[in-house]
Structure 1
Amino acid sequence: MGERVGKIALSILIIVASAISYFLFAIIKNEGGVRNLLDRISQDNKVETVKASGMNNLVVQLKENVLLDAPIVKQFPELPRGCEVTSLAMLLQYKGIDIGKMELAERVIKNTTPLKKENGTIYWGNPNDGYIGDMYSYSNPGYGVYHKPIKKLAEEFLPGQIIDLTGRNFEELKTYLSLEIPVWVIINTTYQPLSENAFETWKTPSGEVKITYKEHSVLITGYDNKYIYFNDPITGIKNLAKPKDPFIEAWKQMGSQAISLLPDANTIEGSK
């Protein structure tokens, strides 16, 4: 009798353990599970073992150098102020989404707050709320758009697969690049920190915003110990190299804005 009870108990234990493992694996496969996993990846260049629920221990190491083969799209001549949607087109095309810069330009949220200047104060829209001004021509006033509307637009094509990395340490961006995922960022056209006189402050319906007309967006495709590599929509140059430290400081100066793609299960499996 005792032996029979033991076998029954063991069978029940195996069934329960299998059910728990399946449940935890389902959790880690969804967006939140992947996001929490990546949030725990090391912020330096050391190897760290990350214990992921429902999976074997995952070891992720930042690569010493990365250079990805992402599609290059040039914003000119159609979109002289369309660097943000052009860089997004490159990111989506890298994922296999058949979408062009012109459709993204049409679909991105627009901020229609009119431009007004009074006593030296500029009143206009907030690029965090939508695209400001004319994207298609320099004949009319225009500026650009920041990461929030771009993330929302990206999610129309890849729902649940876009992550906002704004405000993170640049080392976390390198984590995504090490997983062979490019990163969309806001930078400036000099790729180095700007002086204060390159900025101005606007009053907008959603509060003051500090901007520079040198604002730019690129798709980061790699790095090494000296350079950051990126696809530049202005020049149409693929994997353009700029010195690493000034680039990172300029990115921080623009608010450390970045979005990327959540890795799929195969990417995570391959990084073990």
Structure 2
Amino acid sequence: MKKIVTVLMLLLLLVVAVGMFNQEVLQNSRDYMKDHSVFEAASQLIKKTKQGTITIENVDVMQEPVRAAEYVVVNESTDEEVALIVTDDNGIGTSKPIPFGKTYQVIQRSVAHPYQLHDEEVIIDLEEDYELKIENELLDYVKDVQYTDGSVEITESHIPVATLMQNPELPNGCEIVSLTAVLNYYGYDVSKTTMADDFLPKQPFARQNNKLYGANPYEAYAGEPRDRSGFFVYAPPILQAAEDFMSTVESSHKAVDVSGSTREELLEYLKQGIPVVTWMTLELDAPRVTYSWYFHETEEFFEAPVNLHATVLNGFIGEDKVHVMDPLKGQMVYSAENYFTSYDALGSHAMILVEDE
């Protein structure tokens, strides 16, 4: 009997031992699966969060650094802007860390004057830190520059204002023809005769009590530009003609009277790509004041220069020469000193068209 009990006890202990062993194996198996899942999840997370940078070296055509250029990095699949890159004094800029395994577009959002915006598409599949070099062209009208202490100075410009001659239709219409040339440069499709006939304020001459009466040139053209007897007009009525015309079309510009501007200020407009209608004298001679009339409204006596002329100042070469679209002669290069001396002597009259913000 004792032997039977002993055998039974041994069998029971064996069953318990086997059960405990199986439980441990099961637990270990569960722990392994749990640890393995965490490992896999962690691996996937690391893969998803692994990041790198995009570095841009920005230069110009002379391989000089382009400073303060701004770029945005855009996720191609979501259109989300994920990073901003700004170049430093060495023309280098680096993005913040962004995820690998994505496709990004790099877009130059702004660049300093006098460079053209870089508009070529740059697409990057980011799998590791990426470096690229981007080159900016000079603006089309900028013909030469000088590098000084990290800055770029324009030393030659030529804004391509097309030649527009006043003859034969407008023998005394140099002012409205110069304005029309600038309007055409900005893309407005209008003729010189339309501007003269439909938009230029004009006032005819008249004789009364042995006195010649005519227009105040600050208010209207004196006479008729189609006639040999027509005289001239200063900047304000030319501005009025520009504004009246632009009110009839879809316009993005406004006219600005910049009379009184210094030589340096006019050159600065040219550096910004803005042609200037300027009043000077024929052959750049001294003004010849040999004609006169009385204003219609006020009877104020007015002495008029007979050699007044208007042109488009559209560029310069260093400090010595200027490019001019002369409606009597075409594209000309004049001595800067003589040109600005004539401009000043006649009263420093000038006007421009600028973007209407």
TM-score computed with the length of structure 2 as normaliser: 0.51
- CA distance 1:127–1:159, change in 2 (3 Å): farther
Question: What's 1:262 paired with?
Answer: 354
The aligned runs of 1:71-220 (5 Å cut-off) are 71-106=162-197, 107-115=199-207, 118=210, 122-138=212-228, 141-156=229-244, 157=246, 158=251, 161-194=254-287, 198-204=289-295, 205-206=297-298, 207-220=300-313
Q: Provide the secondary structure at the position in 2 that maps to 1:84.
A: helix
Question: What's 1:39 paired with?
Answer: none
> Does the aligned pair in 2 maintain the 1:184–1:259 contact within 8 Å?
yes
C-alpha separation in 1, matches of 2:270 and 2:243: 20
Please state how far the C-alpha of 1:242 moved relative to its aligned partner: 1.2
Query: For residue 284 of structure 2, what is the amino acid of its counterpart?
Result: Y
Please state how far the C-alpha of 1:192 moved relative to its aligned partner: 3.5
The aligned runs of 1:41-52 (5 Å cut-off) are none
> Does the aligned pair in 2 maintain the 1:181–1:263 contact within 8 Å?
no
Deviations 1:188-230 (Å, cap 9, x if unpaired)? 1112433xx5444433234343321111110111112111211
Question: Is structure 2 residue 328 aligned with structure 1 residue 234?
Answer: yes
Deviations 1:44-103 (Å, cap 9, x if unpaired)? xxx9xxxxxxxxxxxx97632221111111111111111111101111011111111000
Q: Aligned-residue CA RMSD in angstroms?
A: 2.6
C-alpha separation in 1, matches of 2:167 and 2:209: 29
C-alpha separation in 1, matches of 2:241 and 2:152: 31
Question: What's 2:344 paired with?
Answer: 252
Query: For residue 323 of structure 2, what is the amino acid of its counterpart?
Result: Y
- CA distance 1:244–1:102, change in 2 (3 Å): same
C-alpha separation in 2, matches of 1:146 and 1:258: 8
Please state how far the C-alpha of 1:123 moved relative to its aligned partner: 3.6
Query: For residue 237 of structure 2, what is the amino acid of its counterpart?
Result: P
Return the structure number with greater helix share.
Answer: 1
Please state how far the C-alpha of 1:168 moved relative to its aligned partner: 1.8
How high is the sequence identity, in percent, across the aligned residues? 25
C-alpha separation in 2, matches of 1:69 and 1:247: 19
Q: Provide the secondary structure at the position in 1 that maps to 2:311.
A: strand
Query: For residue 154 of structure 1, what is the amino acid of its counterpart?
Result: A
> Does the aligned pair in 2 maintain the 1:116–1:124 contact within 8 Å?
no
Deviations 1:2-51 (Å, cap 9, x if unpaired)? xxxxxxxxxxxxxxxxxxxxxxxxxxxxxxxxxxxxxxxxxxxxx9xxxx
C-alpha separation in 2, matches of 1:201 and 1:144: 12
- CA distance 1:263–1:177, change in 2 (3 Å): farther
Query: For residue 216 of structure 2, what is the amino acid of its counterpart?
Result: N
Q: Provide the secondary structure at the position in 1 that maps to 2:239.
A: helix
> Does the aligned pair in 2 maintain the 1:164–1:258 contact within 8 Å?
yes
Q: Provide the secondary structure at the position in 1 that maps to 2:260.
A: coil
- CA distance 1:63–1:126, change in 2 (3 Å): same
| Structure 2, unaligned runs of 5 or more | 1-146
Q: Provide the secondary structure at the position in 1 that maps to 2:324.
A: strand
- CA distance 1:209–1:198, change in 2 (3 Å): closer
Please state how far the C-alpha of 1:264 moved relative to its aligned partner: 6.7
Return the structure number with greater strand share.
Answer: 2
Q: Provide the secondary structure at the position in 2 that maps to 1:144.
A: coil
- Shifted more, 87-96 versus 164-173: the winner is 164-173
> Does the aligned pair in 2 maintain the 1:117–1:123 contact within 8 Å?
no
Flag the structure with more relative contact order, 1 or 2, with Cα contacts below 8 A and sequence separation at least 6.
1
- CA distance 1:177–1:112, change in 2 (3 Å): same
Query: For residue 155 of structure 2, what is the amino acid of its counterpart?
Result: E
- CA distance 1:62–1:183, change in 2 (3 Å): farther
| Structure 1, unaligned runs of 5 or more | 1-46, 48-59, 266-272
> Does the aligned pair in 2 maintain the 1:84–1:145 contact within 8 Å?
yes
C-alpha separation in 2, matches of 1:182 and 1:78: 24
- CA distance 1:212–1:116, change in 2 (3 Å): farther
C-alpha separation in 2, matches of 1:116 and 1:190: 34
> Does the aligned pair in 2 maintain the 1:80–1:136 contact within 8 Å?
yes
Q: Provide the secondary structure at the position in 2 that maps to 1:190.
A: helix
- Shifted more, 92-101 versus 209-218: the winner is 209-218
